[in-house]
Amino acid sequence: MTHQVHIIGGGMAGSEAAWQLARRGIRVRLSEMRGANLPGGGDRTAAHNSDGLAELVCSNSFRSDDDEKNAVGLLHYEMRQCDSLLMAAAAKARVPAGSALAVDRDVFSAEVEAMLAAQPTLEIVRERVDVLPTDGLTIVATGPLTAPALASSIGAATGADSLAFFDAIAPIVYRDSINMDVAWMASRWDKGAEASLAMGGDGRDYINCPMTRPQYEAFREELLAGDKTEFKEWEASTPYFDGCMPIEVMAARGVETLRFGPMKPVGLDNPHWATAEHPNGRWPYAVVQLRQDNKLGTLWNMVGFQTKLKHAEQVRVFRTIPGLEQAEFARLGGLHRNTFLNSPTLLDRQLRLKSAPHIRFAGQITGCEGYVESGAVGLLAGLMTAAQVAGRDWSAPPRTSALGALLSHITGDAEAETYQPMNVNFGLFPPPDPSTKKKQRKEAYTARAKADLAGWLPALG
């Protein structure tokens, strides 16, 4: 099949872009280097564990699904309105997680791959691409772990060094190794109970491991003292992305930092500590939460526990957590280096490389951060390219929408000199009417976005 568009990279962004193009009858070649025992394949990154398309590397959560008060939930809504592949696959792979959208990783990846494989105009090829194509419409969606040869080719084309930061991965624990005589099931403030029940959960979607003050303070000291991954000389000055900061780095910022971050105990009554005076139990001094990671409920990930501790130290230190004394780990945490472009300088408003406009970039390599944001930029790249193939003028999504705000930030609104990875947030949106009350601002953002998006959708074709 002679392709009209070549997509390099089968992650979140590349898969979404391929879907948006193929469902419009456009012939697409999707190149993915991960493919063991296949011609030209077999390569792996430092973070991937499988050859599946759209593999979720860090968390299994797409974060909040609240489209009335949360920017990422609004982005979910907008992607669904655009017939998003990723949102459709997530619906089939969803696992209980309160008000969050979390999925079974394996089911999600399999759904994405099956839906793409069913498209007659899409060819999935397991091959490594080492240089940027010199002609032909191309979308580069190789993510933050772009292979060295292609990264060098991109560097030569952009004339600028890529920026870099570190991402850390959280461990995953086998459910049957958690001591439920100490831990208990609950969602904070029972938030998301309705969504949980609709998903087959019971409204108590997190496993909570409680700590007293002495236990917390001792645990923090263990995090600080634990043996950690050593950086190479060239990595020493590389910063972390704040949204994926290692737990021990947070611990080093202050004694109470973890208690106001991933280990905050508020809204969680420990029933094991119930008394006649407090029949529902009491809040712990700190808590470690675990979230379901697969549909079977056999795997649970440690929320916010990204780490650069060495593997043996992870086992030792994390088994000091009450309830995890005998924990068995399906996967231990890790650390990988990410790269991204200074997109506000290098890309135009249609994600095209200014020095080579036949090439678009999409996903985390553009400097967006997060699964959903990566997929959203892939969706936009696919829609832009589809319009170009059809000979139609591209109409950008409204600046007031989550899609439009994210795209605007990446392609010029951000300050180029200080450009860093960014999750979608209401700070990227134009402010609502000044008369809007503070408590109603989030609803004002989302209501305006939905109304403006509805007017834009017919232009997609």
pTM (2 d.p.): 0.76
For residues 300 and 294, which has the higher predicted lDDT (pLDDT)?
A: 300
Q: Does domain 5-163+340-459 have CATH number 3.20.20.70?
A: no
Per the annotation, does 11 bind a ligand?
yes
Per the annotation, does 10 bind a ligand?
yes
Mean pLDDT computed over 326-338: 82
For the ranges 53-57, 141-145, 234-238, 453-457, the maximum mean pLDDT occurs at 453-457
Q: Is the model's pLDDT at 238 over the cut of 50?
A: yes
Confidence of residue 296 (pLDDT cuts 50, 70, 90): confident
Mean pLDDT computed over 208-219: 97
Q: Is the model's pLDDT at 16 over the cut of 80?
A: yes
- For 383-440, how does the pLDDT look when each residue is reduced to its tens digit (9 = 90+)? 999 999 999 999 999 999 999 999 999 998 887 776 777 789 998 999 888 899 988 9
Q: Report the C-alpha gap between 217 and 372 in whole angstroms.
A: 35
Q: Is the model's pLDDT at 208 over the cut of 50?
A: yes
The pLDDT of residue 263 is 97
Per the annotation, does 13 bind a ligand?
yes
The pLDDT of residue 271 is 94
Confidence of residue 305 (pLDDT cuts 50, 70, 90): very high
Cβ neighbour number for residue 233 with a 10 Å cutoff: 6
Mean pLDDT computed over 111-129: 96
Q: Report the C-alpha gap between 396 and 400 in whole angstroms.
A: 11
For the ranges 45-49, 232-236, 344-348, the maximum mean pLDDT occurs at 344-348
Q: Is the model's pLDDT at 134 over the cut of 50?
A: yes
Whether residue 209 contacts residue 185, with contact meaning beta carbons closer than 8 Å, is answered with: no
Lowest mean pLDDT among 261-270, 356-365, 419-428, 443-452: 419-428
Confidence of residue 233 (pLDDT cuts 50, 70, 90): very low
Q: Which strands form 184-186's sheet, in the order they lie side by side?
A: 184-186, 206-211, 286-292, 299-302, 172-174, 329-331
The pLDDT of residue 36 is 45
Per the annotation, does 245 bind a ligand?
no
Q: Is the model's pLDDT at 168 over the cut of 80?
A: no
User: b/e string for 337-363 if b means 16 or more Cβ within 10 A?
Assistant: bbbbbbbbebbeebbbbeeeeebbbbb
Q: Is the model's pLDDT at 78 over the cut of 90?
A: yes
Per the annotation, does 254 bind a ligand?
no
Closest CA to 338 of 307, 365, 378: 365
- For 100-115, how does the pLDDT look when each residue is reduced to its tens digit (9 = 90+)? 999 999 999 999 999 9
420 DSSP 8-state letter:
-
Per the annotation, does 334 bind a ligand?
no
Percent of the chain scoring above 90 in pLDDT: 65
* 402 CB-near residues (< 8 Å, 6+ apart): 71, 72, 74, 75, 78, 376, 424, 429, 449
**Which tokens sit at 117?**
């494989």
Cα-based distances in Å from 417 to 143, 310, 384, 385, 420? 21, 34, 27, 29, 9
Residue entry with tokens 């959960």:
201
The pLDDT of residue 427 is 86
Closest CA to 431 of 418, 416, 445, 413: 445
Residue entry with tokens 């939905």:
450
Closest CA to 106 of 155, 158, 30, 50: 50
Lowest mean pLDDT among 168-172, 187-191, 255-259, 275-279: 187-191
The pLDDT of residue 47 is 52
The pLDDT of residue 234 is 41
| Domain ranges across the chain | 5-163+340-459, 169-337
Mean pLDDT computed over 174-188: 94
For residues 26 and 236, which has the higher predicted lDDT (pLDDT)?
A: 26
